[in-house]
Structure 1
Amino acid sequence: MGAALPLGDPAPADGRIPDAHRPDPETDFGVYLHVPFCRVRCGYCDFNTYTAPELRGARQDEYADTLLREVALAREVLAEAGPLRPARTVFFGGGTPTLLPAGDLARMLDGVRDAFGLADGAEVTVEANPDTVTDDVVAELARAGVTRMSIGMQSSEPHVLAALDRTHDRENVGVAVRAARAAGLDVSLDLIYGAPGESLADWRASLETAIAHAPDHISAYALIIEEGTKLARQIARGEVPAPDDDLQADMYELADELLQGAGYGWYEVSNWATDAAHRSRHNLSYWRGADWWGFGPGAHSHVSGLRWWNVKHPAAYAQRLALGSSPAAGRETPDADQRALERVLLETRIREGMPVAALAPGARLRVASLVADGLVDGVAAIGGRVVLTRRGRLLADAVVRALTDDD
């Protein structure tokens, strides 16, 4: 049921944004819609998701109406804080959004459209489990305004899928891709590497299979063992091995080599796209510090330096909204040092990198040594930007430490 919520200040019941955080009309605005339902909990997952026995009074068939109450609240709050901005991106995440009827997802999107408007050419993404995608479902989503489908492939190898507790039929990945294509949607495939028992050859097979599906975008994430998950308990008991850092590094290098060879350019440490037009604009908005409102239990939001997060359980979320209160559990305003650290952490992950001039004076002096160590691109550094090399992407945390240590 997800990691614990962060600590923070109490959030007001009316959700009001303080005057000090009035939105900048020129800053992009995005929307995240969290659908917290899954048929089965994957052993590695610590997202805020719930299987049917865990709902304890919350109902999937009422969820769209509940979330739309938060959309109405958000419109009031943002209209009071300044001019409303159209959503440039909308992202249905989870959980498994496509466990809900396509009509419910369409109503949620209509609610966002009615409350804020959608910018011309807005990117609207729906995450999907391959087993929940049919021609009819995708066609209905496309008619509603969805432009992009992100399909959770994870692996092509049955024993790797079993190690991750993924229950989908691997053959349905191709079915889902073809359905999305037939409806005119862009397609992204999500992969995970480093599962117990996965070899480099297994990973190569998954990459080659993903490439053969010819998606517009591929994400490849290293498996991280999160505290409290089933997989963490299995590793602690010695039932399965922990991920091997060296093997995961080899897997990342193989992914970058094969994907770039197939025409996918990296634009963020874990993401590749056929061209700039097919990069995930929604995720880029996070990395670039844009504003967004996250709807749903456990969802996080950010507006003009103010951050807040909702109560986690769907029943508590629904109860607050039924009473006319904000579902926010807490909020915070990072100080200048925290914002500087976060900027380095996020901007160095993307291909454009970050301006050398934005670093503290001492950190600027360390850029040359990072170039010498092969972690930062020398040509980009001469041009005034910190851009990671492939080796630098593998050691991104070390680069961030070097650029944020106290002078």
Structure 2
Amino acid sequence: MPSALPEGDPVPTDGSLPESALAQLGRRRLGFYVHVPFCRVRCGYCDFNTYTAEELGPGVSRSSYADQVVAEVRRSRLVLGTADLPVATVFLGGGTPTLLDPADLGRMVTAIDQEFGLAPDVEVTTEANPDSVDRDRLERLREAGFNRISFGMQSAVPHVLAVLDRTHDPERVPTVVEAARQAGFDQVSLDLIYGTPGESGEDWAATLDAALACEPDHVSAYSLIVEEGTALARRVRRGELPMPDDDDLADKYVQADEQLSAVGLDWYEVSNWARDDAARCRHNLGYWTGADWWGVGPGAHSHVGGVRWWNVKHPVAYAARLAENLSPAQAREVLDDETRRLERVLLEVRLRDGLDVDVLPVPEVLPSLAAAGLVEDRADRVVLTRRGRLLADGVVRSLLG
């Protein structure tokens, strides 16, 4: 969850949604995102809405957080009414969800199941740092209903992790991946970051080799972005570190795509690769394809039936709202048809499955984009080539006229 929230419009104190949104319930699959805002250490590059123990005020603790999540889940049922809405995906992110006891994380999933019911093939994911779990905790997470886990590996090179302020031992990654397999997780994903100042091409190749040696089902690889307000941004501003170089980032993206594709991990979103269709992250696909989801936790964003809203940012304010039996939502916006169409273009063009050309305001640009090698030469869908993925922002600008 990003640290800054938009302005938006007021939300009723009970969080009720417009009838126009409720009328669309069930047309799209429903997911739940649960934001767990706790971290042991604040990473220098991260601008997510996270807090170390020292940054939290009275009324907030890891031990009471599950109760607050359960309270918001129950409120979501009241807001959405009695419609039959089996939940297709649950995703716990952060922060570091696995700093909480597996039993507490399991209570969150159980609350969603009790209020809505989980689909028979539900995907239940938690993020984890390699140093926040061991075999016992992984087994308990699996028993609690989690069937997918995403480890924040980031890099296999100690000096790169040091620049990112990541504190885990990279040699621990294979151990926890194997422990997750033995615990019975259906899918194991690794998250990587490339372009860190001081990371050579050889460093990035070593990270990819180490990740692939773990035989993951899924890999996410994101270029480092220097976010304003972070410790990393301050170091760059002081001249201690250089800004990431665009050409270097492009080279490393190509390097990743080549190494991942060579072992059967195919791209399905610009920054995501999966062993097969079953290994794609269905929860994130929901975001990219305009599904409905309820975001639980401080700063979490939600979307139902064309209404998008976000919760108050700080855990203290979030806990206080729930304690007063009020909606934790801070503000919202109702998306008009044109905005929803533009967002479809922005998001779906990033997918391997592509974008229906009928959505485009200016489809006549497609031949020139195909001639430039940016999109595949297809009449029905817009699908990016590798070159197009490198220049995706420019392609989107052309598609939107």
Q: C-alpha distance in 2, partners of 1:288/1:341? A: 12
Query: Could you say what secondary structure the match of 1:226 adopts?
Result: coil
Partner of 1:7: 7
Partner of 2:78: 76
Q: C-alpha distance in 1, partners of 2:26/2:131? A: 41
* TM-superposed deviation, 1:59: 1.1
Q: C-alpha distance in 2, partners of 1:6/1:172? A: 39
Q: C-alpha distance in 2, partners of 1:194/1:152? A: 16
Whether the 8 Å contact between 1:133 and 1:179 is mirrored in structure 2 is no
Given the alignment of the two structures, is residue 155 of structure 1 paired with residue 151 of structure 2, yes or no? no
Partner of 1:136: 136
* TM-superposed deviation, 1:3: 2.5
Partner of 2:278: 277
Query: Could you say what secondary structure the match of 1:131 adopts?
Result: coil
Name the amino acid aligned to 2:26: P
Q: C-alpha distance in 2, partners of 1:206/1:135? A: 24
Name the amino acid aligned to 2:234: R
Q: C-alpha distance in 1, partners of 2:159/2:194? A: 13
* TM-superposed deviation, 1:207: 0.4
Q: C-alpha distance in 2, partners of 1:32/1:230? A: 27
Partner of 1:26: 27
* TM-superposed deviation, 1:234: 0.6
Determine what percentage of the aligned residue pairs are the same residue: 60
Q: Any gaps of 5 or more consecutive residues in structure 2?
A: none
* TM-superposed deviation, 1:337: 2.7
Partner of 1:236: 237
Partner of 1:354: 355
Q: Within 5 Å, which residues of 2 pair with 1:133-212?
A: 133-185=133-185, 186-212=187-213
Q: C-alpha distance in 1, partners of 2:399/2:150? A: 33
Given the alignment of the two structures, is residue 391 of structure 1 paired with residue 387 of structure 2, yes or no? yes
* Cα offsets for 1:221-263 (capped at 9, x unmatched): 0001111011111101101000010000000000000000011
Query: Could you say what secondary structure the match of 1:151 adopts?
Result: strand
Q: C-alpha distance in 1, partners of 2:261/2:241? A: 32
* TM-superposed deviation, 1:135: 1.0
Partner of 1:365: 364
Q: TM-score by structure 1 length?
A: 0.96
Q: C-alpha distance in 1, partners of 2:13/2:122? A: 31
* Cα offsets for 1:287-331 (capped at 9, x unmatched): 010000000000000000001000011110000000000000000
Partner of 1:213: 214
Partner of 1:315: 316
Q: C-alpha distance in 2, partners of 1:277/1:67? A: 29
Please say which of residues 22-31 and 320-329 is displaced more in the overlay. 22-31
Q: Within 5 Å, which residues of 2 pair with 1:80-119?
A: 83-119=83-119
Name the amino acid aligned to 2:108: M
Partner of 1:122: 122
Q: C-alpha distance in 2, partners of 1:300/1:86? A: 20
Query: Could you say what secondary structure the match of 1:171 adopts?
Result: helix
Query: Could you say what secondary structure the match of 1:132 adopts?
Result: coil
* TM-superposed deviation, 1:24: 3.0
Name the amino acid aligned to 2:340: R
Whether the 8 Å contact between 2:3 and 2:49 is mirrored in structure 1 is yes
Name the amino acid aligned to 1:47: F
Q: C-alpha distance in 2, partners of 1:372/1:289? A: 30
Partner of 1:251: 252
* TM-superposed deviation, 1:88: 0.2
Q: CA RMSD in A?
A: 1.0
* Cα offsets for 1:82-119 (capped at 9, x unmatched): 51301100000000000001111011111111111100
Given the alignment of the two structures, is residue 375 of structure 1 paired with residue 374 of structure 2, yes or no? yes
Partner of 1:401: 397
Name the amino acid aligned to 1:342: E
Partner of 2:299: 298
Query: Could you say what secondary structure the match of 1:112 adopts?
Result: helix
Name the amino acid aligned to 1:149: I
* Cα offsets for 1:22-72 (capped at 9, x unmatched): 133231000001100000000000000001111112111100001111011
Q: Any gaps of 5 or more consecutive residues in structure 1?
A: none
Query: Could you say what secondary structure the match of 2:80 adopts?
Result: helix
Whether the 8 Å contact between 2:195 and 2:224 is mirrored in structure 1 is yes
* TM-superposed deviation, 1:2: 4.6
Whether the 8 Å contact between 2:93 and 2:127 is mirrored in structure 1 is yes
Paired residues in the alignment total 398
Query: Could you say what secondary structure the match of 2:219 adopts?
Result: strand
Q: C-alpha distance in 2, partners of 1:104/1:42? A: 25
Q: C-alpha distance in 1, partners of 2:257/2:214? A: 17
Partner of 2:342: 341
